[in-house]
Structure 1
Amino acid sequence: MQQRLGWHDIPAEVRAAIGTRTGPISQVRTASGGANSALAAVVDGVGGRFFVKGVRHATHAGIAAHRREAAVAPHVARVAPALRWRLPEVAGWDVLGFDAVDARHADYRPGSTDLPAVVELLQTVGEIPCPPQEVTITDAVRRWGPYLPEGAEPAQLVGDALLHTDYNPENVLITSDGTARLIDWAWAARGAPWIDPCCLLLQMIADGHNPASAEHWASRTPAWHTARPRDLDAFAAASLLLWQEIADQDPHRTWTRDMAFAAHAWCQAREARRRHD
């Protein structure tokens, strides 16, 4: 997790370099959400309004995710704000400038009118071809394989679908016309197409859905139906171990505990279904 810095905490050389891309800057609003970037702000300049993200090269975990997002950006223009410029090396920083989107964060709660747009977004992501192998993104087996339960096989996670994997509602923006846009591709991965619907349903459970309701919404996507019941069972168990580990590492973050609770609820629901069947 990166400590978020204010605009004037950024080196003057970095601020000046950003200004060469935005034109003279009239306003900067530091973003409160997100955890991957030391710099995250909406910057208004003569050249337009940009969402600017930056990390220091010395922060190895942050720079890996940052570079992954930059590499994926040209491939996800159907669903994500465009990456307009990049400053890959300025005073030890790597900075990205995206189009700023006039939108609000999605509401995943039961009964929300945003849910159809969110599912439509998920379906569109499933239609985007995975970037070629030379584009460095992580692999689903590497991400979830170590957490699979006994009897499950890493091959269950294998696929050539492009996955976002982080459907936190802060990463889904709803525009004034009701369209959903997907930001923060730092955790993009390659794997089985049904994984992204599972990632979304966990977030929905964390926002108040019961597992049956969350699965109902996920099942509206074609990708969901490529999974066998044993794939979903294995992923539910792996998600529980993964999120419990994350929550244990930092017990003071409420959202990680919420995700661990959601994973536990889904895993229990899958186990109950197996016993009933």
Structure 2
Amino acid sequence: MTIGADRQRQAWDELPEEMRTAAASILGSPIVGATTQNGGFSPGSADRVVTASGRRAFVKTAIADHNEESAELHEREARIVAALGPELPVPALLGASARDGWVVAVYEEIVGRHPETPWRADELAAVFDAFERITRHRAPDDLERSLPSAADALGTDGFAVAGWAQVSAALIDSLEHRELVRELLSGPIGELGILVEELRGDRLLHLDARADNILIREDGAAVIVDWPYACIGAAWVDPLSLLVDVAYLDPEADVRALLAHPILAGLAPDTIRRFFFQLAGHFLAKSELPAPPGIPGLRAFQREEGVTCLRLVRAFSDHED
């Protein structure tokens, strides 16, 4: 299952001519073929394209009139990826253009597919290895100075107790784990900013680790795509966040067994519980907001992610080391 696969993106031939021309200009040749890539939650287009010269690429577009935030995120992602080195498992930016309320970003085409889901052990290990490669490298100084910390990035959207404070009593009452939520909110785990110190670090983070933001190459290596939420923080944040996706797609998955990977080894069980609990508040608070333009399924998905996080809190609470 691919997240958002049932939502049809805008087709290439439906884009304004000036946007298609901008992509062709970046690639240096007219685009003669395009295959729409569905999935994900961006309301813009996403296409694998081929030019008259045979060059292949991946093109993402967004129009501010359809969704202003999406256009801003596409511009931000292009700036971030342009600053990353070629040694990282990230598609290279070939060029970008932004004008008159639209954005076109052209990336290296990755020959690969999204991971199989429910997740396979070998592909999950490949993704953990990719995150480990990324966190071995410091972001360039200019980029690092421009990116938020993980705590600030998550806090902006209601992380920690601020997130839970925005969740309605009616939603909490409807949750299977409502008694667990009330218990944790009334105790030390609910203290504002409790994870700030643990989130600190100097590693480059993706902050949106899900199967639909990952490609598996033919050789089995993983490539991490879609970087608008990049930030700086502790190396464990992305791989631990990915366990939410694993558990969401397979409720029977033994996520505790996945903590053996070196990038997660030594992470305190209490940190894990608090992270999933506070992430649950983050997702559930967002799930009650109005649906953003062009992305009708996002809020329901965020609620499901929040519920999944609470299942993980329960799983780690029931098996304390």
| 1:186-225 → structure 2 map (5 Å cutoff) | 186-208=228-250, 210=252, 213-222=254-263, 224-225=264-265
Q: Does 1:142 align with 2:152?
A: yes
**1:27 to partner: Cα distance:** 0.7
Q: CA deviation at 1:105?
A: 0.6
Q: Does 1:95 align with 2:107?
A: no
Paired-residue identity, %: 24
Shift of 1:220: 0.3
Q: Per the alignment, do residues 134 and 167 of structure 1 end up closer, same or farther by CA in structure 2, a change over 3 Å counting?
A: closer
Alpha-carbon contact 1:194-1:225 (below 8 Å) kept: no
**Unmatched 5+ stretches in structure 1:** none
| Counterpart Cα distance in 1 of 2:140 and 2:62 | 24
**Mapped partners of 2:104, 2:297: distance in 1:** 29
Question: 1:184, CA displacement in angstroms?
Answer: 0.6
Q: 1:30 is matched with which residue?
A: 36
Task: Give 1:80's aligned residue.
Answer: 90
Alpha-carbon distance, 1:10 to partner = 1.8
Structure number with higher relative contact order (C-alpha < 8 Å, ≥ 6 residues apart): 2
The whole-number CA distance in structure 1 between the counterparts of 2:9 and 2:147 is: 24
Distance 1:64 1:92, change over 3 A: closer
Which structure dedicates a bigger proportion of its chain to strand? Answer: 1
Contact 1:201 1:218 in 2 (8 A): no
- Is residue 28–residue 41 contact of structure 1 (8 Å, CA) maintained in 2? yes
Are residues 201 and 9 of structure 1, via their aligned partners in 2, closer, same or farther at CA, if it must alter by over 3 Å?
A: same
Distance 2:195 2:56 in 1: 47
TM-score, scaled relative to structure 2: 0.75
Matches for 1:171-186 after TM superposition, within 5 Å: 171-186=213-228
Whole-angstrom distance in 2 between the partners of 1:3 and 1:65: 20
Q: Is the 8 A contact 1:3 1:38 kept in 2?
A: no
Secondary structure of the residue aligned to 1:159 is coil
TM-score by length of 1: 0.85
Query: Counterparts of 1:233-248 in structure 2 under 5 Å?
Result: 233-248=273-288
State how far apart, in whole Å, the 2-side matches of 1:120 and 1:157 are: 20
Q: In structure 1, how many angstroms separate the alpha carbons of the residues matched to 2:297 and 2:72?
A: 25
Could you say if the C-alpha distance between residues 153 and 122 of structure 1 is closer, same or farther in structure 2, counting changes exceeding 3 Å?
Answer: closer
- Distance, in Å, in 2 between the alignment partners of 1:99 and 1:85 is 10
1:66 equivalent in structure 2: 74
Provide the C-alpha distance between the structure 1 equivalents of 2:199 and 2:36, rounded to a whole number of angstroms.
37
Contact 1:44–1:50 (8 Å) recurs in 2: yes
How large is the RMSD of aligned CA atoms in angstroms?
2.7
1:229 aligns with 2:269: yes
Q: 3-state DSSP class of the match of 1:114?
A: helix
- Residue matched to 1:269: 315
Letter in 1 for 2:159: Y
| Shift in Å, 1:176 | 1.3
- Equivalent positions of 1:100-179 (< 5 A) are 100-109=109-118, 111-134=120-143, 136-145=146-155, 146-148=158-160, 149-151=189-191, 152-179=194-221
Q: Are 1:107 and 1:115, in contact at CA under 8 Å, matched by a contact in 2?
A: no
CA distances 1:73-105 after superposition (whole Å, capped 9, x unpaired): 13153201111111133x432211001122111
One-letter amino acid of the counterpart of residue 132, structure 2:
Q
Contact conserved, 1:68 with 1:188, CA < 8 A, in 2? no
- Which of 10, 31, 35 is the equivalent residue of 2:15? 10
Aligned length: 272
Q: Runs (4+) of structure 1 moved beyond 4 Å? A: 250-254
What is the rounded CA distance, in whole Å, between the counterparts of 2:232 and 2:274 in structure 1?
Answer: 18
